[in-house]
Structure 1
Amino acid sequence: MARRHASCWAGSVIKIRTAVQADAENVLTFWKEAAEGTSITDDTDGVTRLIERDPEALILAESEGLLVGSVIAGYDGWRCSLYRLAVRPSHRRQGIATALLTAAEERFRAVGGRRGDAMVLEANERAQHAWAAAGYEREDHWRRWVKPFRA
């Protein structure tokens, strides 16, 4: 069952809820406008598999039925990982990212998580400032290593 709650941010009601399968296409369209970079998993199959495997992971923010924010709060039983924190450009600087991170951190605490790790693009200075403002610290001694798996 999708977790839902509403908050008042900058004078408008922002509803925070977890995604359902039917949200996949809308989320992908939203990410094209609001998120930086793309991923090999940015397709309907990738998003629906995320929701199926971990129904609480993809957290959405809505204002008057419009998708205005997202964050993926993944928990694998050991690590708390944050991805795709994005806010629609027309709705930035209204506390939506803060509301999404609050929901993600509540989820992590509820499952016993002890630290959140965020993936942030080097070139995305706006995001770096947002993460720092939320209390996250950059760790320069780590580097991400990736290998795409092709079908």
Structure 2
Amino acid sequence: MIDIRIRTAVPDDAENVLAFWREAAEGTSITDDVDGVTRLVRRDPQALLLAESDGRLVGSVIAGYDGWRCSLYRLAVLPSYRRRGVATALLEAAERRFLAVEGRRGDAMVLESNERAHRAWSAAGYRREDHWRRWVKPLTRT
């Protein structure tokens, strides 16, 4: 394990987070823009957790809570920092957040094709539920 600091993001982190996700995360999202990240942070200031080592952003996870569900998104770690405890520390921080708001279960969004992520989530105690499928519809303003 390396020396890392976990903190919540602030709106000014948006551009740095987006650059980090381009390097460390699998896939992209319709909300991958400055407006999307700053809106998340303003709406739920505790949701976007960042891991830093020597002032460098090395990991992230979104730990969203809507009063009903504890949802995990964008668990990402810089490739050169993987397998060094960063994801574990982020998930522990997310789970502490969920327990503090009396959450009952963490649900993680994980890309089907990301085998490395499957192993990481499994190692952290999460299990795949094959009887659920995600249904999506991108929303646009007209």
| TM-score > 0.5 by shorter chain | yes
* In the alignment, structure 1 residue 137 sits paired with structure 2 residue 124: no
The CA distance in 2 between the partners of 1:145 and 1:123, in whole Å, is 17
The letter for the 2-side match of 1:111 is V
TM-score computed with the length of structure 2 as normaliser: 0.98
Please show how residues 36-115 of structure 1 align to structure 2 within 5 Å. Answer: 36-115=26-105
Structure 1 CA distance for aligned equivalents of residues 3 and 81 of structure 2: 12
Alignment correspondent of 1:4: none
- Higher relative CO (Cα under 8 Å, sequence separation at least 6) belongs to 2
> What is the one-letter code of the residue matched to 1:66?
R
Give unmatched runs, 5+ long, in structure 2: none
Q: Aligned partner of 2:15: which letter?
A: E
How far off is 1:66 after superposition?
0.4
SS state at 2:4 partner:
strand
Shift of 1:51: 0.2
Q: Distance in 2 between matches of 1:39 and 1:24?
A: 14
Q: What is the TM-score normalised by the length of structure 1?
A: 0.92
How far off is 1:59 after superposition?
Answer: 0.1
Q: Which has the higher strand share?
A: 1
**Root mean square deviation, CA, Å:** 0.5
Cα deviation digits, residues 24-78 of structure 1 (max 9, x gap) = 0000000000000000000000000000000000000000010000000000000
Alignment partners' CA distance in 2, 1:85 and 1:134? 12
Deviations 1:80-126 (A, max 9, x none): 00000000001000000000000000000000100000000000000
Residue 150 of structure 1, CA deviation: 1.4
Name the % identity: 78
> Equivalent of 2:11, from 18, 21, 24?
21
Matched residue count: 141
Does residue 150 in structure 1 map to residue 126 in structure 2? Answer: no
> Runs of 4+ in structure 1 displaced over 2 angstroms?
none
